[in-house]
Structures are given as structure tokens and as C-alpha cells.
Amino acid sequence: MPRGSISLNLRAAWYLSKLCHPHMKARGGGAVVNMASTSGLHHDIGLGIYSISKAALIMLTTVCAKEWARDGIRVNALAPGIVRTELSVPMVSWLQEHGEKPNALNMIGEPEDVARLVRYLVSDESRYVTGDVIRIDGGELL
């Protein structure tokens, strides 16, 4: 499992970005959005390796943003909290069963919430944003 987390959450992003870099550079720029997690910003019990892999992805985002800026390539990361997906079903069920609030807004994010932020980050509207980690978590870490 640990190796799988590192491969999926860090290596895959690195190799894909590395493959895209020369094409974006040749076009005069581009945007990369890495999908981190609030778990990469704080440790969740039982998710140690996952948290480590997402924290490393956040550092990869920072490194690439700094090194690729000269090529006109912006690199950012999103750190979603709980978003309604197949993988979050057990966590959402547990929260509901125990009457726990998932975050300050007491809501579960929807995939569309994340998609809208990705759309912004790859558009020219975010031309001055790079090297950032944007939490989209309903106030989970407040």
C-alpha cells in the first residue's frame, strides 16, 4: 500500500508533468493543476503514507512552479477536503452515523465544486497564480 500511494499520488503526477512540460514550453506556456488533499496539509489518523504522498505532491507543485515559470508554465495544486465520490462513501456514512460535521460549512463537496476551480486555474483568468495550494474544503482546516 505505501508504495502504491507514492506511485499514484506523486510519481504519476511527476511523470505526466515532465512529459507535458516540453509541449507546453514549445507553445509558450500552459498550466498544471495537481490534485493534492487537505491530508497533505495536516495528518489524518490512519492515513500516514497517504498524507506523506500528498505533502510531497504539494512540494513538487512548488518546485515545478518555480522552475517552470520561465517557460510560461503555471503550476498549482488543489487541496480538497471531503468530496462526494465513490471513495468517500465510507467516510461520509461514518460522519452521518455519528452526527459529525465534516467542516465549518457542514457540507460535503461535490465534484463540480472542484471542477470549477480547476477550470479557473487552467484559464487565463488565473494568469497571475502559480505555486499555490488552494484549499477547497468547506472550512475543514479552520
Cell (9 digits) for 142: 479552520
Distance of CA 63 to the CA centre of its chain: 15
Provide the residue count of the chain. 142
Residues carrying an active site annotation: 50
Tell me which residue of 62, 15, 55 sits closest to 36, measured CA to CA: 55
Smallest Cα–Cα separation from 80: which of 59, 49, 65, 58? 58
